[in-house]
Chains A and B, each alone.
Chain A
Amino acid sequence: MAKAAFVLTLWLCTSLSVLAATPPKHLPTWSELTTDQRRTLAPLAEDWDNFEPDRKRRWIGIAKRYPNMKPDEQARVQRRMQAWAKLTPKERDAARARYKKMEKLPPEKKEGLKEKWEEYNRLPEQERRKLGSTPRKPPTTAQKARPPAIASPEQPAPPEVAPAPGPGR
């Protein structure tokens, strides 16, 4: 009796642990997304089905925020989406860490970051290299050819970052 109860407890613990570790629900494949989601996430169409559940969940969250974004923000998302998705998980983590660091700057410094970036880009390449900058790769043909999914008020600009192939979040 005691042994049976102990075995039952063990079984219960194992079942609960497995339940906790199991993803709660199936995340949609590209064809299962709604029309609006597909329209918003169009630059990710090719890669979507290879994304891990967490990444899909994040992109679905961004697609949900999309209608509430200003037109220029929507245009930026469209331009940057593919490049962001093509980065390696390590690159994305590094970028997020830098974003968090920049967010902590005092407001007057945060305001001037765009100008600082432009100023930095005017530095001779050699000097930027000395600071640790790596040469930026030109965009791939596929990216050049891909039109933005949603008409943006601005002229479509080239991708702002050279993607590096790789899976992950």
Chain B
Amino acid sequence: MNEQQIAYRIRQHLNRGLGLDAGKLARLKAAREQALARQRVQSAIPILAWAGNVIGKSGGPSTLVPRVLLPMVVLILGLTAVNHWRDSQLAAELEEIDAAVLTGDLPLDAYLDKGFDAWLKRPSY
């Protein structure tokens, strides 16, 4: 009898009902609850378990700094620098535009008037 056949037989038995007495049912219930409680404790710290696995595979804590920590710190510092550079570029561009709008020949209304914008788009212009 292979595994599938056993599973089929068990299912049939379960479908018919086991007809267990109250004592056995209570013991089964207690065992199930105990198993679930253990399962919850394990799943509460999966990230640490994962970290343990990763570090274990990478050669243990002695290689943690060069293999994991250092690249991570470099990556974060790099991203921070790029972000900072992008923000300062944008700020400089906005300042440049504001200064030009404030000092230019055209009054502010010319930049705010949708009609003027549309009028400039005429094919004749």
Contacts and interface: CB of A to CB of B under 8 A. Distances in A.
B108 A84 contact: yes
B61 A96 contact: no
A131 to B, nearest CB: 4
A47 interface: no
Nearest to B120: A116
B48 A6 contact: yes
A77 B56 contact: no
B112 interface: yes
A54 interface: yes
B91 A99 contact: no
A129 B115 contact: yes
A81 B72 CA distance: 46
A73 B103 contact: yes
27 contacts: A2-B56, A2-B61, A6-B48, A16-B73, A57-B91, A62-B95, A65-B99, A73-B103, A76-B102, A77-B102, A84-B98, A84-B101, A84-B102, A87-B112, A95-B108, A98-B117, A99-B101, A99-B111, A100-B97, A101-B117, A109-B125, A114-B105, A129-B115, A133-B116, A134-B114, A160-B108, A160-B109
